[in-house]
Structures are given as C-alpha cells and as structure tokens.
A = this chain, B = another copy of it.
C-alpha cells in the first residue's frame, strides 16, 4: 500500500517539531525514541533540513534551549515559526496588533508597536483564551473599519500530557464566526509560510519531503505546495487520520527514525 515517496530525488527535508521530535508534556516533554539520532544523521548527510513549526507558546531561543535539554542540536535560524513571519508582515503593512498570545512568546514581539491597535493577532494562547480575553479581541475587531485577524496557524488540537487540547484554530473559528472576518493564517498550512522555508534551502518544492504528525497542516499543507507529505504515527496522529476525507499522505512512517532511514537508505 505504501507509495514509494522516498524513491524520487530528495533535495531537502522539512520537519515538524512537536509530535515528531518530541512529545510535549509537563517538564518540557520527552524525546520520541530514535528522533535524536535521526536528526543528527539527517543533518550529517548533507541534505538541507529546516524545522517548520507552528509553535507559539515560547520564543525561538527558548525552544532551541528546550530541545537542547532534550538532546537535540539545532540552530535558531533553521527554525521557521509563525511569530517572526507575522512580525515581518505587520511591519510591511504598518499594522499595530492587539495580541492574544501565550505570555511566554511575548518577547518575540519585541519592537512591535501595539498602541492604538488596528488588527488582532491570535496564537495558541492556552489559558489566556478566557471569555474576557476573547471578548476583548472580538470587540476590537467589531470597531475596526477594516478588521484584520491574523491566526498563527489553524490547528484543531494537539497532544499534551497524553491529553488532546484545543489549538488556536478553534478560537480562530470562534472569532471568524462572530465577526464575519476571514482570518489570515500565518504558519502552516499557509503556502507563503512553507515557501519561505523551501526558498531558504534553495531547492525545488517537488524535491522536498515534509514530515509531520498533523494530517491537514503538515501533510496537506506541504502537498498543496508541491512537496511530498509524510505522516508519522506519533504526536497527534490518530488511526482515524488514515481515512481522512481530503488528505492522503504520500507515505506513513512509524516515527521520524523510520522516515530518516527511508530518506537516507531509499530501501
């Protein structure tokens, strides 16, 4: 049944982080067996690798430190994350955001003017998604002549401490419905976001493989950009994903270790 996604040329690899490198949880989470050496092997092979994450509950610097503690070695500028992307969009368009984001990621918005806001940025704000904070974001959108809502990713849910928890996408839908404003998604599965990472590797999309645990945002998003999308059976993967109504991965692997073996050995 497995399509030979690893038989065609692979000039670059994009990896999701959470659910692929490690399982999140209290105390920083735990590495997924085999992932530490898989990342090491892949980087040693010379194939360009970038990490494409929708992580917004921490700064990029702290994410690198956390991954280092878990045993992974990666560089801050190998990570493509929504906050730097949205900051550059805000600057380009002269927008001042009202932020409904996780407190731990706020340092990554340093230098962004948030006075007299004329747009709303939401990310995986977790406990900040209170009724009061949602109303504040909603009320601002209702008063703007040209309401703009940025959502850093559009994930439905993710796994934390063995439990599934709501992701930013659910709250994006709540605000979209109440305000009749269509959110601009910054992060996966936005093609602009994937393309920045592909461009950084100086390779062609059809020679890139994306490995992720999210059937829609990782696999479907990558495929929409002309890349191959491979789903791992770790992280938020659920058996049900294999009957997804619209997205069919180019391949399944048990975990990142198997993906890297298939990429490097092409067995």
| A interface residues (Cβ-Cβ under 8 A, vs B) | 126-132, 134-135, 138-139, 142, 156-157, 163-167, 169-171, 173-179
Chain B residues with CB under 8 A of A171: 174
Docked CA distance A127–B126 (Å): 16
Docked CA distance A175–B132 (Å): 18
Docked CA distance A171–B175 (Å): 9
Known: A130-B130, A131-B127. A177 touches B156 (CB 8 A): yes
Contact at B177–A163, with CB atoms within 8 Å?
A: no
Known: A130-B130, A138-B157, A164-B139. A178 touches B169 (CB 8 A): yes
Docked CA distance A169–B174 (Å): 8
Known: A127-B131, A129-B131, A131-B126. A178 touches B167 (CB 8 A): yes
Query: Which chain B residue lies CB-closest to A125?
Result: B131
Q: What are 11 A-B pairs at a CB distance below 8 A? A: A126-B131, A127-B130, A129-B134, A130-B131, A138-B157, A139-B164, A139-B165, A142-B157, A156-B178, A167-B178, A170-B177
Known: A129-B134, A163-B139. A174 touches B178 (CB 8 A): no
Q: How far is the CB of A24 from chain B (nearest CB, A)?
A: 15
Chain B residues with CB under 8 A of A169: 177-178
Chain B residues with CB under 8 A of A177: 156, 169-170, 173
Chain B residues with CB under 8 A of A131: 126-130, 166
Contact at A142–B129, with CB atoms within 8 Å?
A: no
Query: Which chain B residue lies CB-closest to A143?
Result: B164
Q: How far is the CB of A23 from chain B (nearest CB, A)?
A: 17
